[in-house]
Structure 1
Amino acid sequence: AYLPIDPELPAHRRTWLLAHGEVELVLTQSHLADALEWPEGLRLLRVDAAEEGDEAAAAGAAGSAGPEDLAYVIFTS
């Protein structure tokens, strides 16, 4: 599921969102991947530095989705 996370949020809030969203793979930009703190074991895919083989790897990581699966998750304050 898609879970938007604002990079301007405090680190503890980003960590909480990633944990409670059960995030395993993050699509991000290289400057954010290098500048922000990320929880241990989280996979990062830098969309601005992706090579041809990375797209297939990312698609395989997502698995298959069905109509009962979430499309997106929005946490509100």
Structure 2
Amino acid sequence: MSSKAEGKPMTSSKSHDAGKGRDKAQDKADDQAAIDAEKRQLDAALEEGLEETFPGSDPVNVTQPAHSKADHHIKRRD
């Protein structure tokens, strides 16, 4: 009687499942490493931005404030 698995090592389901666990653990570790790398990059960019604006009395505005009513009364003569 010959079987299809002849000449191939028999593997148990336990060892096969353990391999999947390592793959999942490795994937999780890789994902965490990517998240950590992105966080370090963002922190470095923030630090560089802060160093570029120092010494400043006020932080840099991301947006331009809207005009006030008093701004409309200013007329320039050319």
- Considering fraction of residues, name the structure with more strand: 1
Larger RCO (CA within 8 A; separation ≥ 6) = 1
**TM exceeding 0.5:** no
TM-score (norm 2): 0.21
TM-score by length of 1: 0.21
Which of structures 1 and 2 has the bigger CA Rg?
2
